[in-house]
Structure 1
Amino acid sequence: METIIHKSSERGHVDHGWLKATHSFSFGNYHNQDKIHFGKLRVLNDDIVAPSRGFGMHPHQDMEIITIPLSGALKHADNMGNEAVITTGEVQVMSAGTGVLHSEHNASDTEPVNLFQIWIFTDQNGHKPRYGQKFFSPEGRQGKWQLLVSSDGREDSLRIHQNAFISTINSDELAETLYQLKSPGNGVYFMVTEGSVIIEETELGKRDAAGFWSFSEPLKIQFKKLSSLIAIEVPMH
């Protein structure tokens, strides 16, 4: 089994005042030759956007873009005609395909919004752009893996154009679980959203991350305290 550990303190940081962003992989002005991507996972940004601020219309192409608000709400608009507010508990998927323009702004005038934005390389260029948004019940991830994103929409998940899967779990102190790859040959990148966990003897705190690949047996995970964990499973080649 191959592993890589990314400590929270080793992420790239940028502070624009209205935007405080932390990058797990090279992005914008942050470049780290050792952190370009993890397999088909290209971006994992941890953004805090000030009230009423955000990004104006800008383009994307041939990328699967997944947005997960952790607190607050995000207002979205695009040139496909979609206008929506994505709240905590919801997940948004935008398949950029042949090209899409979109904007993102904090939907609140008083409270910041904190979100994960994940970019995954598409399986091939030239797909028709597509938008999806869904609320996922907190009960569905309490003590068990809840599938948010998949290649085929299984378990009522949102679909993307890649053999990739995003899952999340909330668990109590000292609970244990396993993570089984959904597609043999994939790797999985874990991010601790809250709390502290041990994955195959690797201890991770809040916002620490670890990637695992070249394994076949399920990964053993122990929760040291009340914790939340996200798993991003992607092809490695």
Structure 2
Amino acid sequence: MAQYILHKADSRGHDHAEWLDSKKTFSFADYYNPKRMGFGALRVLNDDTVAGGKGFGSHPHDNMEIISIPLEGSLLHEDNVGNKKVVTAGQVQIMSTGSGVFHSEYNYSDSLPAKFLQIWVYPEALNTAPGYTQIVLPDALRSNQLYAFIKPDSDAATTTIRKDTWFSIGTFDKGTQVNYPVHKSGNGVYAFVIAGSFTIDGRELQPRDGLGVWDTDSLTIGALSDQAELLLMEVPMTTNK
């Protein structure tokens, strides 16, 4: 029988500094909740707003897959393995930190805020070579359907972080219904509502709500509003730490 865990938007951790407003679905930095240490291999889901001209200075990471999805504005990424890139809304940045990397992330605008989702997934293997990928999310491929932009069998327009992990995104008109088949037995799916409202297996979700589902082979999804945007993260329910 399918199991569910609901995280309402207003139940998230919330850190607010002069230049950063960060809402955290799972324990991270100064927010600690022993009941929210992640969802399977999904470790971090932060909903961040960075003030113009500000950002995260150079700092280290290792052995984590870090996905950044700008929702508004752009980020300037720079790392010690030679990457200096701008990633904007409608694109996704994937950094495999592997054996170790130093990087910085700044708002590319001096005046306008940048809003983005910061997501961490435990890697499949430790101490691999660091890597960086940037991809585009085509509007036509995510209109009233779920577009898998991270998947094991990646192509030129998508990428891979693990052989058992799929990330999908879609923007839907009110009344649209889709079925999401779970790709691999033992995986769970964490759904995060970026905008609008949805039902998932009959459970109503509002903006920035999250719903984890496991022990199921499919999800039934319905859009309750126009321009409703949904992110699905299918991951194994073990971390392989």
Query: Could you say which TM-score interval applies, normalised by the shorter chain?
Result: over 0.9
1:25-67 per-residue CA deviation (whole Å, 9 max, x = no partner) reads 0000000111001000000000000000001110000000000
1:74-112 per-residue CA deviation (whole Å, 9 max, x = no partner) reads 000001100010000000000000000000000001110
Moved over 4 A (4+): none
For residue 223 of structure 1, what is the amino acid of its counterpart? Answer: A
1:225 maps onto 2:225 in alignment: yes
Indicate conservation of the 8 Å contact 2:135/2:157, yes or no.
no
Tell me the secondary structure at the aligned position of residue 43 of structure 2. strand
Tell me the secondary structure at the aligned position of residue 93 of structure 1. strand
Q: C-alpha displacement at 1:214, in angstroms?
A: 0.6
Between the aligned partners of 1:177 and 1:235, the Cα distance in structure 2 is: 22
Q: C-alpha displacement at 1:208, in angstroms?
A: 0.4
TM-score by length of 1: 0.97
> Residue in 1 aligned with 2:196?
195
Indicate conservation of the 8 Å contact 1:153/1:159, yes or no.
yes
For residue 76 of structure 2, what is the amino acid of its counterpart? Answer: K
1:129-174 per-residue CA deviation (whole Å, 9 max, x = no partner) reads 0000011211110011111112331583112145211100110001
Tell me the secondary structure at the aligned position of residue 158 of structure 1. coil
Between the aligned partners of 2:181 and 2:159, the Cα distance in structure 1 is: 20
Q: How do 1:124-143 residues align onto structure 2 when only pairs under 5 Å count?
A: 124-143=125-144
> Residue in 2 aligned with 1:71?
72
For residue 17 of structure 2, what is the amino acid of its counterpart? Answer: H
Indicate conservation of the 8 Å contact 2:146/2:169, yes or no.
yes
Tell me the secondary structure at the aligned position of residue 28 of structure 1. coil
Indicate conservation of the 8 Å contact 2:65/2:96, yes or no.
yes
1:155-205 per-residue CA deviation (whole Å, 9 max, x = no partner) reads 831121452111001100011111111222200000000000000011000
Tell me the secondary structure at the aligned position of residue 42 of structure 1. strand
Between the aligned partners of 2:213 and 2:95, the Cα distance in structure 1 is: 26
Tell me the secondary structure at the aligned position of residue 9 of structure 1. helix
> Residue in 2 aligned with 1:104?
105
Between the aligned partners of 1:117 and 1:165, the Cα distance in structure 2 is: 16
1:42 maps onto 2:43 in alignment: yes
Between the aligned partners of 1:14 and 1:157, the Cα distance in structure 2 is: 32
Q: Percent identity?
A: 40
Tell me the secondary structure at the aligned position of residue 140 of structure 1. helix
Indicate conservation of the 8 Å contact 1:198/1:223, yes or no.
yes
Between the aligned partners of 1:155 and 1:224, the Cα distance in structure 2 is: 33
Indicate conservation of the 8 Å contact 2:169/2:232, yes or no.
yes
Q: Which blocks of at least 5 consecutive residues in structure 1 are unaligned?
A: none
RMSD: 1.0
Count of matched residue pairs = 236
